[in-house]
């Protein structure tokens, strides 16, 4: 596994801190095409369930972002296929998705 860029390491720090602060199943961070970052954690309420990546995507879309450069998702659960599909809908194919454990160790990479 290649080392992450400094910018992608910032996403790891954001995702890890957001997950730890909320004690959520997953934490995620997304960098848009303008370099803005969005961090989110899993929402698991009786009446609302949103993945960490789903939260990031909603924030990016509602902020007017036009796409994504990179994504990090950390946690003990796997990335849902629907999350990858939503990222592809928003940003198109080829966006790197770095997947890691709760501590922030990246174990695999996917692409939208």
Residue-wise pLDDT tens digits, 66-94: 999 999 999 988 999 999 999 999 999 99
* CB 52 within 8 Å of CB 79: no
Please tell me whether the overall predicted TM-score, pTM, comes out greater than 0.85 for this model.
Answer: yes
The residue written with tokens 């997947």 in the block is 99
6-111: CATH number: 3.40.140.10
User: Could you report the per-residue pLDDT of 11-44, keeping only the tens digit for each?
Assistant: 999 999 999 999 999 999 999 999 999 999 999 9
In the chain, where the domains are located: 6-111
Say how many C-beta atoms besides its own lie within 10 A of residue 8's C-beta: 18
């Amino acid at each position: 596994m290649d080392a992450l860029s400094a910018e992608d390491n910032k996403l790891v720090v954001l995702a890890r801190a957001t997950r730890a602060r909320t004690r959520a199943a997953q934490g995620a961070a997304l960098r848009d095409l303008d370099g803005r970052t969005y961090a989110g954690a899993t929402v698991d309420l009786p009446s609302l369930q949103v993945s960490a990546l789903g939260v990031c995507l909603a924030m990016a879309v509602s902020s007017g972002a036009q796409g994504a450069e990179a994504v990090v998702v950390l946690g003990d659960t796997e990335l849902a296929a629907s999350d990858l599909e939503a990222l592809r809908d928003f940003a198109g194919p080829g966006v790197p998705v770095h997947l890691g454990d709760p501590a922030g160790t990246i174990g695999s990479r996917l692409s939208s």
